[in-house]
Amino acid sequence: MKKALFKPKPKTPVELVRHARELIIFLDSKTCTRESKREEKLSDLSKTVLEIRTVLYGNGELEPNAEACSQITREFFKDDTFRLFILYLSNLNLGLSDLSKMILEIRTVLYGNGESEPNADACSQITREFFKDDTFRLFILYLSNLKLGARQDATHVIANLQRQRVNSQLIASQYLEKNLDLVDMLIDGYEKEGDIALSYGAVARECIRHQSVARHILESEHMKKFFDYIQLPNFEIASDAVATFKVC
């Protein structure tokens, strides 16, 4: 009974993201030598990621709260949280299932759950957070480590973020203009094998819709590379390269 009366106060959306960031930094720092302590932190991180997903996607009974989603989005793209998620999760023994669930939750916030439309404020929060602290870069870098289903969800999230406006501004366009090396990485993704090349291609096409990105590709060596990519022996990858080339 006492436990029920004194349950800890739920973390706010911003606190959830900050807590996840702190946990990742702690775990990656390897300052903790006790395995029991590390397992405790990993469990805490998993729960926090799940809570973030629930905020973004709803709990099956309630729709996502737009303001909460917006707060999470802002926080995710601040203080390098996005970069931390991408760079450090692969070094942790954190189950990919937790990361996959979080990505699915973010996707649900951005696309809706089939019964309700996406909440504009929630989408704005996610967008702000994603392009703050290089979280977007982390997602791109870690994409190849995800299983196919989670990678497809992540690709949908990244694609959606390209179209999200915050205060009438396309944050993604501004971010990519300052991080064109990510565009280079995506185009070079056609040199990889299997489904990951297709995932990079799908993300690249969404990014190319921004004028600054399209201009960068047209004025770079990538245009020459496309003629090699469209002749690759893998038909799916070659066809995908053609689709991306047409967007340019």
- Cα dihedral sign, 232-240-242-163: negative
User: Which parts of the chain register pLDDT below 50?
Assistant: 1-4, 91-94
CA neighbours within 13 Å on the CB side: how many for 42?
Answer: 19
- The tens digit of pLDDT for each residue in 10-57 reads 777 777 788 877 877 777 676 666 767 777 777 777 778 778 878 888
4-28 burial string, b = 16+ CB within 10 Å, else e? eeeeeeebebbebbbbbbbbbebbe
Half-sphere exposure of 131 (CA within 13 A, CB side): 27
Cβ count within 10 A of residue 114: 6
* Residue-level pLDDT at 92: 47
Classify 134 in phi/psi space as left (phi over 0), alpha (psi -120 to 50) or beta. left
Give residue 88's pLDDT: 59
Angle (CA) 114-85-150 rounded to 5° is 40
Q: What is the pLDDT of residue 8?
A: 67
Quick one: pLDDT at residue 114? Answer: 77
